[in-house]
Amino acid sequence: MSKLKLSKSQYLKGIQCPLRLWYYTHCKDLIPPIDPATQAIFDQGHEAGLIAQKLYPGGVSVTTDFTKIPEAKLETDKAISDGAKAIYEATAINELGIYSRIDILVRSKKNKNTWDLVEVKSSTEVKDYHIDDCAVQRYVFESAGYKIDKSLLCLVDRDYIRKGDIDPDKLLIYADITEEVQQKMIGLEDKALDLIKIKNKKKDPHCSIGDHCTAPFECEFKEHCWKHIPDFSIYNVMTKSKKRAALVEQGIIEIKDIPREKVSVSKLIDIESFLSNKPFFNKKKIKDWLGQLSYPLYFLDYETINPAIPLYDLMSPYKQYPFQFSVHIQKKKGAKVTHLEFLNTEQRDFREDFIKSLIEGCGDEGSIIIYNMSFEKQVNNRLAEDFPKYRKELEKINERMVDLLIPFRSRYIYSPDQNGSAGLKSTFPAFVGDLYNKLEIKDGATAQKQYMEFLQDKIDPADQSKIFEDLLDYCELDTFAMVKLLEVLYQHQK
Ligand code: SF4
Protein backbone atom coordinates (compact mmCIF):
# COMPACT_ATOMS: atom_id res chain seq x y z
CA MET A 1 0.00 0.00 0.00
CA SER A 2 1.32 3.49 -0.91
CA LYS A 3 2.64 5.76 1.81
CA LEU A 4 0.05 8.38 2.77
CA LYS A 5 1.00 11.75 1.29
CA LEU A 6 -2.06 13.99 0.91
CA SER A 7 -5.64 13.77 2.12
CA LYS A 8 -8.70 15.33 0.52
CA SER A 9 -8.96 17.93 3.27
CA GLN A 10 -5.25 18.78 2.95
CA TYR A 11 -5.72 19.27 -0.80
CA LEU A 12 -8.67 21.60 -0.16
CA LYS A 13 -6.67 23.61 2.37
CA GLY A 14 -3.79 23.79 -0.10
CA ILE A 15 -5.85 25.10 -3.01
CA GLN A 16 -7.28 27.81 -0.74
CA CYS A 17 -3.74 28.79 0.28
CA PRO A 18 -0.50 26.73 0.14
CA LEU A 19 0.64 28.36 3.38
CA ARG A 20 -2.52 27.09 5.11
CA LEU A 21 -1.54 23.53 4.14
CA TRP A 22 2.06 24.10 5.26
CA TYR A 23 1.06 25.53 8.64
CA TYR A 24 -1.45 22.71 9.06
CA THR A 25 1.38 20.22 8.55
CA HIS A 26 4.17 21.93 10.50
CA CYS A 27 2.56 24.31 13.02
CA LYS A 28 -0.42 22.50 14.50
CA ASP A 29 0.09 24.46 17.73
CA LEU A 30 -1.14 27.59 15.93
CA ILE A 31 -4.60 26.08 15.38
CA PRO A 32 -7.12 27.70 17.76
CA PRO A 33 -9.98 25.73 19.36
CA ILE A 34 -13.02 25.31 17.12
CA ASP A 35 -15.53 28.13 17.64
CA PRO A 36 -19.20 27.32 18.41
CA ALA A 37 -20.50 28.38 14.98
CA THR A 38 -18.02 26.12 13.12
CA GLN A 39 -18.69 23.24 15.50
CA ALA A 40 -22.43 23.62 14.84
CA ILE A 41 -21.78 23.32 11.07
CA PHE A 42 -19.74 20.13 11.65
CA ASP A 43 -22.45 18.67 13.89
CA GLN A 44 -25.18 19.41 11.35
CA GLY A 45 -23.13 17.85 8.54
CA HIS A 46 -22.64 14.72 10.64
CA GLU A 47 -26.34 14.54 11.42
CA ALA A 48 -27.30 14.94 7.74
CA GLY A 49 -24.77 12.20 6.87
CA LEU A 50 -26.41 9.73 9.26
CA ILE A 51 -29.88 10.51 7.87
CA ALA A 52 -28.61 10.05 4.28
CA GLN A 53 -27.40 6.54 5.17
CA LYS A 54 -31.07 5.61 5.65
CA LEU A 55 -31.56 6.23 1.92
CA TYR A 56 -29.32 3.19 1.35
CA PRO A 57 -30.60 0.60 3.80
CA GLY A 58 -28.43 -2.46 4.30
CA GLY A 59 -25.23 -0.54 3.55
CA VAL A 60 -22.01 -1.41 5.33
CA SER A 61 -20.30 1.13 7.57
CA VAL A 62 -16.51 1.53 7.59
CA THR A 63 -16.05 2.01 11.30
CA THR A 64 -12.28 2.52 11.45
CA ASP A 65 -11.73 6.13 12.48
CA PHE A 66 -10.24 8.80 10.21
CA THR A 67 -6.76 8.56 11.78
CA LYS A 68 -6.32 4.98 10.50
CA ILE A 69 -6.68 5.38 6.76
CA PRO A 70 -4.93 2.13 5.62
CA GLU A 71 -7.17 0.09 7.96
CA ALA A 72 -10.26 1.94 6.68
CA LYS A 73 -9.21 1.13 3.11
CA LEU A 74 -8.88 -2.57 3.96
CA GLU A 75 -12.31 -2.50 5.59
CA THR A 76 -13.72 -0.90 2.42
CA ASP A 77 -12.06 -3.57 0.21
CA LYS A 78 -13.57 -6.31 2.36
CA ALA A 79 -17.06 -4.79 2.17
CA ILE A 80 -16.75 -4.70 -1.63
CA SER A 81 -15.60 -8.31 -1.91
CA ASP A 82 -18.46 -9.31 0.42
CA GLY A 83 -20.84 -7.79 -2.17
CA ALA A 84 -22.00 -4.66 -0.23
CA LYS A 85 -24.39 -2.52 -2.27
CA ALA A 86 -23.52 0.66 -0.38
CA ILE A 87 -20.56 1.53 1.84
CA TYR A 88 -20.70 4.42 4.28
CA GLU A 89 -17.39 6.27 4.81
CA ALA A 90 -15.67 4.21 2.09
CA THR A 91 -11.95 4.95 1.82
CA ALA A 92 -9.53 4.84 -1.11
CA ILE A 93 -5.79 5.51 -1.50
CA ASN A 94 -4.14 5.87 -4.92
CA GLU A 95 -0.61 4.89 -5.86
CA LEU A 96 0.67 8.45 -5.28
CA GLY A 97 -0.49 8.26 -1.65
CA ILE A 98 -3.43 10.64 -2.16
CA TYR A 99 -6.45 9.48 -0.19
CA SER A 100 -10.07 10.30 0.48
CA ARG A 101 -13.21 9.08 2.15
CA ILE A 102 -16.67 9.38 0.65
CA ASP A 103 -19.89 9.61 2.66
CA ILE A 104 -21.59 6.87 0.64
CA LEU A 105 -20.16 4.67 -2.12
CA VAL A 106 -23.11 3.13 -3.96
CA ARG A 107 -23.04 0.29 -6.45
CA SER A 108 -24.48 1.67 -9.70
CA LYS A 109 -27.85 0.32 -10.82
CA LYS A 110 -26.54 0.00 -14.40
CA ASN A 111 -23.51 -2.15 -13.73
CA LYS A 112 -22.48 -3.89 -10.52
CA ASN A 113 -18.79 -3.10 -11.10
CA THR A 114 -19.45 0.61 -11.36
CA TRP A 115 -20.09 2.98 -8.47
CA ASP A 116 -21.74 6.30 -7.70
CA LEU A 117 -20.16 8.71 -5.22
CA VAL A 118 -22.63 10.38 -2.85
CA GLU A 119 -21.31 13.24 -0.74
CA VAL A 120 -23.69 14.61 1.89
CA LYS A 121 -23.69 18.30 2.81
CA SER A 122 -25.98 20.08 5.24
CA SER A 123 -26.10 22.95 2.75
CA THR A 124 -29.24 23.79 0.72
CA GLU A 125 -27.46 24.56 -2.57
CA VAL A 126 -24.40 23.55 -4.55
CA LYS A 127 -21.39 25.74 -3.78
CA ASP A 128 -18.23 25.97 -5.85
CA TYR A 129 -16.15 24.40 -3.08
CA HIS A 130 -18.44 21.35 -3.08
CA ILE A 131 -17.30 20.71 -6.66
CA ASP A 132 -13.63 20.87 -5.59
CA ASP A 133 -14.42 18.52 -2.72
CA CYS A 134 -16.15 15.97 -4.96
CA ALA A 135 -13.50 16.33 -7.68
CA VAL A 136 -10.73 15.15 -5.33
CA GLN A 137 -12.88 12.25 -4.17
CA ARG A 138 -13.62 11.18 -7.72
CA TYR A 139 -9.99 11.57 -8.75
CA VAL A 140 -8.80 9.42 -5.82
CA PHE A 141 -11.39 6.68 -6.30
CA GLU A 142 -10.85 6.53 -10.08
CA SER A 143 -7.08 6.53 -9.82
CA ALA A 144 -7.34 3.82 -7.15
CA GLY A 145 -9.08 1.60 -9.72
CA TYR A 146 -12.79 2.24 -9.17
CA LYS A 147 -15.11 2.73 -12.13
CA ILE A 148 -17.22 5.75 -11.19
CA ASP A 149 -20.46 6.73 -12.87
CA LYS A 150 -22.12 9.63 -11.07
CA SER A 151 -20.89 12.22 -8.59
CA LEU A 152 -23.92 13.20 -6.53
CA LEU A 153 -24.34 15.80 -3.85
CA CYS A 154 -26.98 15.07 -1.28
CA LEU A 155 -28.31 18.39 0.07
CA VAL A 156 -30.97 19.57 2.49
CA ASP A 157 -34.27 20.72 0.92
CA ARG A 158 -35.06 24.08 2.52
CA ASP A 159 -38.79 23.65 1.67
CA TYR A 160 -39.15 20.42 3.62
CA ILE A 161 -41.71 20.61 6.42
CA ARG A 162 -41.40 18.05 9.15
CA LYS A 163 -44.51 15.98 9.88
CA GLY A 164 -43.81 13.17 12.33
CA ASP A 165 -40.44 11.40 12.05
CA ILE A 166 -37.83 12.85 9.69
CA ASP A 167 -38.43 11.48 6.19
CA PRO A 168 -34.96 11.17 4.55
CA ASP A 169 -36.54 10.93 1.08
CA LYS A 170 -38.17 14.32 1.52
CA LEU A 171 -35.57 16.10 3.65
CA LEU A 172 -32.69 15.32 1.29
CA ILE A 173 -32.40 16.15 -2.39
CA TYR A 174 -29.79 15.19 -4.96
CA ALA A 175 -27.75 17.34 -7.29
CA ASP A 176 -25.97 15.48 -10.07
CA ILE A 177 -22.67 17.34 -10.43
CA THR A 178 -20.85 14.74 -12.52
CA GLU A 179 -20.00 17.12 -15.38
CA GLU A 180 -18.81 19.97 -13.14
CA VAL A 181 -16.68 17.51 -11.19
CA GLN A 182 -15.10 16.09 -14.34
CA GLN A 183 -14.21 19.63 -15.45
CA LYS A 184 -12.58 20.34 -12.09
CA MET A 185 -10.54 17.15 -12.33
CA ILE A 186 -8.52 18.56 -15.26
CA GLY A 187 -5.04 19.29 -13.89
CA LEU A 188 -6.02 18.13 -10.39
CA GLU A 189 -3.27 15.52 -10.12
CA ASP A 190 -0.55 18.08 -10.99
CA LYS A 191 -1.92 20.46 -8.36
CA ALA A 192 -1.95 17.65 -5.81
CA LEU A 193 1.69 16.75 -6.61
CA ASP A 194 2.72 20.39 -6.22
CA LEU A 195 0.95 20.53 -2.88
CA ILE A 196 2.74 17.39 -1.68
CA LYS A 197 6.05 19.10 -2.49
CA ILE A 198 5.01 22.27 -0.65
CA LYS A 199 3.78 20.27 2.33
CA ASN A 200 7.11 18.48 2.65
CA LYS A 201 9.34 21.56 2.35
CA LYS A 202 11.25 22.65 5.44
CA LYS A 203 10.64 26.32 4.68
CA ASP A 204 7.15 27.77 4.48
CA PRO A 205 5.87 29.00 1.10
CA HIS A 206 5.37 32.75 1.14
CA CYS A 207 1.72 33.74 0.73
CA SER A 208 0.26 37.21 1.19
CA ILE A 209 -2.91 37.73 3.18
CA GLY A 210 -6.08 38.59 1.23
CA ASP A 211 -9.66 37.60 0.49
CA HIS A 212 -8.61 33.94 0.33
CA CYS A 213 -8.05 34.06 4.12
CA THR A 214 -11.82 34.03 4.62
CA ALA A 215 -13.16 32.32 1.51
CA PRO A 216 -14.33 29.72 0.89
CA PHE A 217 -13.56 29.13 4.58
CA GLU A 218 -12.20 31.25 7.40
CA CYS A 219 -8.58 30.11 7.72
CA GLU A 220 -7.61 28.80 11.17
CA PHE A 221 -4.27 30.66 10.91
CA LYS A 222 -5.81 34.09 10.32
CA GLU A 223 -4.97 35.38 13.77
CA HIS A 224 -1.33 34.43 13.20
CA CYS A 225 -0.95 35.76 9.63
CA TRP A 226 -2.91 38.95 10.34
CA LYS A 227 -1.18 39.86 13.59
CA HIS A 228 0.64 42.80 11.97
CA ILE A 229 -2.67 44.32 10.79
CA PRO A 230 -4.01 46.96 13.24
CA ASP A 231 -7.48 46.47 14.79
CA PHE A 232 -8.70 49.26 12.55
CA SER A 233 -7.11 49.32 9.10
CA ILE A 234 -7.79 49.46 5.38
CA TYR A 235 -9.60 46.12 5.75
CA ASN A 236 -12.28 47.80 7.91
CA VAL A 237 -12.95 50.79 5.71
CA MET A 238 -12.61 49.39 2.19
CA THR A 239 -14.86 46.46 1.48
CA LYS A 240 -14.41 46.33 -2.32
CA SER A 241 -11.58 43.90 -2.65
CA LYS A 242 -10.18 45.06 -6.04
CA LYS A 243 -9.80 48.71 -4.99
CA ARG A 244 -8.39 47.67 -1.64
CA ALA A 245 -5.96 45.15 -3.13
CA ALA A 246 -4.51 47.88 -5.37
CA LEU A 247 -3.77 50.05 -2.31
CA VAL A 248 -2.44 47.14 -0.24
CA GLU A 249 -0.11 46.41 -3.17
CA GLN A 250 1.32 49.92 -2.68
CA GLY A 251 1.91 49.12 1.00
CA ILE A 252 -1.12 51.07 2.28
CA ILE A 253 -2.53 49.31 5.34
CA GLU A 254 -2.84 51.99 8.00
CA ILE A 255 -5.81 54.33 8.17
CA LYS A 256 -3.67 57.47 8.00
CA ASP A 257 -2.31 56.50 4.57
CA ILE A 258 -5.63 55.77 2.82
CA PRO A 259 -6.45 58.34 0.11
CA ARG A 260 -9.68 59.99 1.30
CA GLU A 261 -11.24 60.09 -2.18
CA LYS A 262 -11.25 56.28 -2.25
CA VAL A 263 -13.70 55.81 0.65
CA SER A 264 -17.43 56.43 1.19
CA VAL A 265 -18.82 59.32 3.26
CA SER A 266 -19.70 57.12 6.24
CA LYS A 267 -16.24 55.58 6.19
CA LEU A 268 -14.75 59.09 6.14
CA ILE A 269 -16.48 59.66 9.50
CA ASP A 270 -14.86 56.47 10.82
CA ILE A 271 -11.45 57.59 9.57
CA GLU A 272 -11.63 61.15 10.94
CA SER A 273 -12.93 59.87 14.27
CA PHE A 274 -10.10 57.35 14.47
CA LEU A 275 -7.39 59.88 13.60
CA SER A 276 -8.70 62.54 16.00
CA ASN A 277 -9.65 59.91 18.62
CA LYS A 278 -12.94 61.75 19.10
CA PRO A 279 -16.50 60.52 18.78
CA PHE A 280 -18.78 61.92 16.09
CA PHE A 281 -22.36 63.11 16.62
CA ASN A 282 -24.91 64.42 14.13
CA LYS A 283 -27.15 65.93 16.80
CA LYS A 284 -29.92 66.98 14.43
CA LYS A 285 -30.24 63.48 12.94
CA ILE A 286 -30.20 61.95 16.42
CA LYS A 287 -33.00 64.27 17.52
CA ASP A 288 -35.08 63.48 14.45
CA TRP A 289 -34.65 59.77 15.02
CA LEU A 290 -35.59 60.05 18.70
CA GLY A 291 -38.70 62.03 17.68
CA GLN A 292 -40.40 58.89 16.34
CA LEU A 293 -40.36 57.09 19.71
CA SER A 294 -43.56 56.76 21.65
CA TYR A 295 -43.69 55.65 25.29
CA PRO A 296 -43.89 53.17 26.92
CA LEU A 297 -40.74 51.79 25.32
CA TYR A 298 -40.11 48.05 25.03
CA PHE A 299 -36.48 47.06 24.39
CA LEU A 300 -36.75 43.62 22.87
CA ASP A 301 -34.33 40.90 21.76
CA TYR A 302 -34.71 37.24 20.68
CA GLU A 303 -32.44 34.23 20.79
CA THR A 304 -33.14 31.65 18.11
CA ILE A 305 -32.04 28.31 16.74
CA ASN A 306 -32.00 27.41 13.03
CA PRO A 307 -31.11 23.72 12.76
CA ALA A 308 -30.58 22.05 9.39
CA ILE A 309 -32.61 19.09 10.59
CA PRO A 310 -35.99 20.35 11.89
CA LEU A 311 -36.55 19.35 15.50
CA TYR A 312 -40.34 19.36 15.72
CA ASP A 313 -43.45 19.11 13.55
CA LEU A 314 -44.10 21.97 11.12
CA MET A 315 -40.51 23.17 11.29
CA SER A 316 -38.30 23.53 8.18
CA PRO A 317 -34.52 23.44 7.69
CA TYR A 318 -32.58 26.57 8.62
CA LYS A 319 -35.61 28.67 9.58
CA GLN A 320 -35.02 30.79 12.68
CA TYR A 321 -37.11 29.63 15.66
CA PRO A 322 -37.10 31.79 18.80
CA PHE A 323 -36.77 30.02 22.15
CA GLN A 324 -36.06 33.05 24.35
CA PHE A 325 -36.67 36.77 24.63
CA SER A 326 -35.77 39.57 26.98
CA VAL A 327 -37.69 42.83 27.25
CA HIS A 328 -36.86 45.93 29.27
CA ILE A 329 -39.81 48.29 29.67
CA GLN A 330 -39.65 52.02 30.32
CA LYS A 331 -43.01 53.69 30.89
CA LYS A 332 -41.82 57.32 30.66
CA LYS A 333 -38.69 59.11 29.58
CA GLY A 334 -36.08 58.82 32.34
CA ALA A 335 -38.24 56.39 34.39
CA LYS A 336 -36.76 53.24 35.92
CA VAL A 337 -36.87 50.21 33.64
CA THR A 338 -38.54 46.93 34.52
CA HIS A 339 -37.59 43.59 33.02
CA LEU A 340 -39.49 40.57 31.66
CA GLU A 341 -38.11 37.45 30.04
CA PHE A 342 -39.07 34.14 28.52
CA LEU A 343 -36.98 31.00 28.13
CA ASN A 344 -38.37 27.62 27.24
CA THR A 345 -36.85 25.04 29.61
CA GLU A 346 -38.54 21.90 28.28
CA GLN A 347 -37.44 19.63 25.47
CA ARG A 348 -40.45 20.20 23.25
CA ASP A 349 -41.79 22.64 20.65
CA PHE A 350 -41.61 26.05 22.31
CA ARG A 351 -43.04 28.33 19.66
CA GLU A 352 -46.60 28.78 20.91
CA ASP A 353 -45.47 29.47 24.49
CA PHE A 354 -42.99 31.98 23.12
CA ILE A 355 -45.70 33.76 21.09
CA LYS A 356 -48.14 33.95 24.02
CA SER A 357 -45.50 35.34 26.40
CA LEU A 358 -44.28 37.78 23.76
CA ILE A 359 -47.75 39.19 23.09
CA GLU A 360 -48.34 39.58 26.81
CA GLY A 361 -44.88 41.07 27.44
CA CYS A 362 -45.09 43.68 24.67
CA GLY A 363 -48.37 45.32 25.80
CA ASP A 364 -50.62 47.16 23.34
CA GLU A 365 -48.89 50.44 22.68
CA GLY A 366 -45.52 52.17 22.58
CA SER A 367 -42.41 51.69 20.47
CA ILE A 368 -40.67 48.32 20.46
CA ILE A 369 -36.97 49.01 20.14
CA ILE A 370 -34.87 46.35 18.47
CA TYR A 371 -31.25 46.30 17.36
CA ASN A 372 -31.37 45.23 13.70
CA MET A 373 -35.12 44.73 13.55
CA SER A 374 -35.25 42.98 10.17
CA PHE A 375 -34.22 39.78 11.96
CA GLU A 376 -36.97 39.86 14.62
CA LYS A 377 -39.54 40.97 12.01
CA GLN A 378 -38.70 38.01 9.85
CA VAL A 379 -38.93 35.65 12.83
CA ASN A 380 -42.38 37.06 13.68
CA ASN A 381 -43.55 36.71 10.07
CA ARG A 382 -42.60 33.04 10.14
CA LEU A 383 -44.34 32.52 13.48
CA ALA A 384 -47.46 34.16 11.99
CA GLU A 385 -47.30 31.72 9.05
CA ASP A 386 -46.93 28.72 11.33
CA PHE A 387 -49.51 29.93 13.91
CA PRO A 388 -52.04 32.03 11.94
CA LYS A 389 -54.29 32.52 14.97
CA TYR A 390 -51.67 34.94 16.37
CA ARG A 391 -51.05 36.70 13.04
CA LYS A 392 -52.76 39.98 13.96
CA GLU A 393 -50.92 40.41 17.27
CA LEU A 394 -47.57 39.50 15.69
CA GLU A 395 -48.14 41.95 12.84
CA LYS A 396 -48.98 44.66 15.38
CA ILE A 397 -45.71 43.99 17.20
CA ASN A 398 -43.85 44.32 13.89
CA GLU A 399 -45.60 47.62 13.12
CA ARG A 400 -44.45 49.07 16.45
CA MET A 401 -40.78 48.18 15.90
CA VAL A 402 -38.11 50.88 15.70
CA ASP A 403 -34.56 49.97 14.73
CA LEU A 404 -31.89 51.20 17.14
CA LEU A 405 -29.23 50.04 14.69
CA ILE A 406 -30.10 52.94 12.32
CA PRO A 407 -28.44 55.84 14.22
CA PHE A 408 -25.27 53.77 14.62
CA ARG A 409 -25.15 52.22 11.14
CA SER A 410 -26.01 55.56 9.46
CA ARG A 411 -23.31 57.27 11.50
CA TYR A 412 -25.56 59.76 13.34
CA ILE A 413 -23.27 58.73 16.16
CA TYR A 414 -19.88 57.02 16.07
CA SER A 415 -17.07 56.25 18.49
CA PRO A 416 -13.49 55.50 17.41
CA ASP A 417 -13.66 52.45 19.69
CA GLN A 418 -16.23 50.82 17.35
CA ASN A 419 -13.47 50.00 14.84
CA GLY A 420 -15.89 50.51 11.99
CA SER A 421 -18.56 48.12 13.26
CA ALA A 422 -22.14 49.14 14.16
CA GLY A 423 -23.00 45.82 15.84
CA LEU A 424 -24.33 45.91 19.39
CA LYS A 425 -21.21 44.09 20.63
CA SER A 426 -19.16 47.05 19.33
CA THR A 427 -21.38 50.05 20.10
CA PHE A 428 -22.27 49.08 23.67
CA PRO A 429 -18.63 48.61 24.84
CA ALA A 430 -17.61 51.76 22.91
CA PHE A 431 -20.18 54.03 24.60
CA VAL A 432 -20.97 52.29 27.88
CA GLY A 433 -18.44 49.58 28.79
CA ASP A 434 -17.78 45.92 28.04
CA LEU A 435 -20.12 44.01 30.32
CA TYR A 436 -20.28 41.04 27.92
CA ASN A 437 -16.81 39.97 29.07
CA LYS A 438 -18.19 39.14 32.50
CA LEU A 439 -20.75 36.68 31.12
CA GLU A 440 -20.39 32.92 30.62
CA ILE A 441 -22.21 33.20 27.28
CA LYS A 442 -20.82 36.16 25.35
CA ASP A 443 -22.30 35.77 21.88
CA GLY A 444 -25.32 34.49 19.99
CA ALA A 445 -23.52 31.52 18.42
CA THR A 446 -22.61 30.13 21.87
CA ALA A 447 -26.18 30.71 23.12
CA GLN A 448 -27.52 28.84 20.12
CA LYS A 449 -25.11 25.94 20.50
CA GLN A 450 -25.76 25.51 24.23
CA TYR A 451 -29.51 25.58 23.70
CA MET A 452 -29.40 23.07 20.83
CA GLU A 453 -27.38 20.74 23.03
CA PHE A 454 -30.04 21.05 25.73
CA LEU A 455 -32.85 20.24 23.24
CA GLN A 456 -30.88 17.29 21.89
CA ASP A 457 -30.44 15.99 25.45
CA LYS A 458 -26.66 16.37 25.33
CA ILE A 459 -26.51 18.37 28.59
CA ASP A 460 -26.45 16.62 31.92
CA PRO A 461 -29.72 17.49 33.78
CA ALA A 462 -27.57 18.65 36.73
CA ASP A 463 -25.96 21.32 34.50
CA GLN A 464 -29.11 22.54 32.79
CA SER A 465 -30.16 25.18 35.32
CA LYS A 466 -26.72 26.82 35.07
CA ILE A 467 -27.06 26.97 31.28
CA PHE A 468 -30.53 28.51 31.61
CA GLU A 469 -29.12 31.15 33.98
CA ASP A 470 -26.31 31.95 31.53
CA LEU A 471 -28.77 32.23 28.65
CA LEU A 472 -31.03 34.54 30.64
CA ASP A 473 -28.06 36.73 31.65
CA TYR A 474 -26.89 36.97 28.06
CA CYS A 475 -30.24 37.94 26.53
CA GLU A 476 -30.96 40.38 29.39
CA LEU A 477 -27.68 42.17 28.74
CA ASP A 478 -28.60 42.63 25.07
CA THR A 479 -31.75 44.56 25.98
CA PHE A 480 -30.06 46.39 28.88
CA ALA A 481 -27.40 47.49 26.37
CA MET A 482 -30.16 49.00 24.22
CA VAL A 483 -31.55 50.91 27.21
CA LYS A 484 -28.12 52.39 27.84
CA LEU A 485 -27.46 53.21 24.18
CA LEU A 486 -30.76 55.08 24.01
CA GLU A 487 -29.65 57.14 27.02
CA VAL A 488 -26.45 57.97 25.10
CA LEU A 489 -28.52 59.15 22.12
CA TYR A 490 -30.65 61.37 24.36
CA GLN A 491 -27.48 62.95 25.75
CA HIS A 492 -26.30 63.90 22.27
CA GLN A 493 -29.39 65.28 20.54
CA LYS A 494 -29.73 68.89 19.57
S1 SF4 B 1 -4.43 33.37 7.01
FE2 SF4 B 1 -4.42 33.67 4.82
S3 SF4 B 1 -2.28 33.75 4.24
FE4 SF4 B 1 -2.36 32.86 6.31
S5 SF4 B 1 -2.40 30.68 5.95
FE6 SF4 B 1 -4.48 31.34 6.10
S7 SF4 B 1 -5.17 31.73 4.03
FE8 SF4 B 1 -2.93 31.64 4.01
Q: What is the pLDDT of residues 309-331, one digit of tens each?
A: 999 999 999 999 999 999 999 99
Mean pLDDT of 74-92: 96
The string of pLDDT tens digits covering residues 121-177 is 999 999 999 999 999 999 999 999 999 999 999 999 999 999 999 999 999 999 999
CATH 3.10.450 fits 6-199, yes or no: no
Residue having the nearest C-alpha atom to atom 4 of ligand 1: 225
C-alpha 490 to ligand 1 mean position (Å): 44
User: Which protein residue has the closest C-alpha to ligand 1 atom 2?
Assistant: 213
Q: How far is the CA of 233 from the centre of ligand 1 (A)?
A: 18
The helix (H) or strand (E) run that includes residue 8 is helix 8-16
- List beta partners, residue 281: 413
Average pLDDT over residues 474-491: 98
**Mean pLDDT (the chain, rounded):** 96
DSSP state of 313: T
- pLDDT exceeds cutoff 70 at 346: yes
Q: What class is the 285-491 domain?
A: alpha beta
Confidence grade of residue 239 (pLDDT, cut at 50, 70, 90): confident
Residues with CB under 6 A from ligand 1: 17, 19-20, 23, 207, 209, 212-213, 219, 221-222, 225
User: Which amino acid is located at 178 in the chain?
Assistant: T
Q: Residue 298 — pLDDT band, cuts 50, 70, 90?
A: very high
Write b or e for each residue in 410-428: b if 16 or more Cβ atoms lie within 10 A of its Cβ, otherwise e.
ebbbbbbbbbbebebebbb
Within the chain, all domains assigned CATH 3.90.320 are found at 6-199
The CATH 3.30.420.10 portion of the chain extends over 285-491
Q: What is the mean pLDDT of residues 332-361?
A: 97
How far apart CA 252 and CA 170 sit, in angstroms, is 52
Which of 12, 19, 217 gets mutated to test ligand 1 (max ligand atoms within 8 A of its CB)? 19
SS3 375: helix
Mean pLDDT of 370-383: 98
Q: How many residues does this entry show for the chain?
A: 494
pLDDT at 265: 86
How far away, in angstroms, is 190 Cα from ligand 1 center? 22
Ligand 1 center to 265 CA (angstroms): 31
For the CA of 220, the closest atom of ligand 1 is 6
- Residue 44, CB-side half-sphere exposure with 13 Å CA sphere: 23
pLDDT at 207 over 70: yes
Q: Is the peptide bond before 296 cis (omega within 30 degrees of 0)?
A: yes
Query: Which has the closest alpha carbon to 493: 423, 424, 412, 420?
Result: 412
Task: Flag whether pLDDT at 264 surpasses 90.
Answer: no
Predicted pLDDT of residue 1: 66
**Would you call the peptide bond into 36 cis, given omega within 30 degrees of 0 as the criterion?**
no
CA 34 to centroid of ligand 1, rounded, Å: 17
In 157-250, where does DSSP find H-type helix?
168-171, 178-184, 188-200, 222-225, 234-237, 241-249
The helix or strand, by DSSP H or E, that contains position 293, with its residue range, turns out to be none
pLDDT tens digits, residue range 437-464? 999 999 999 999 999 999 999 999 999 9
CB 134 within 8 A of CB 100: no
Q: What is the reported pTM? A: 0.93
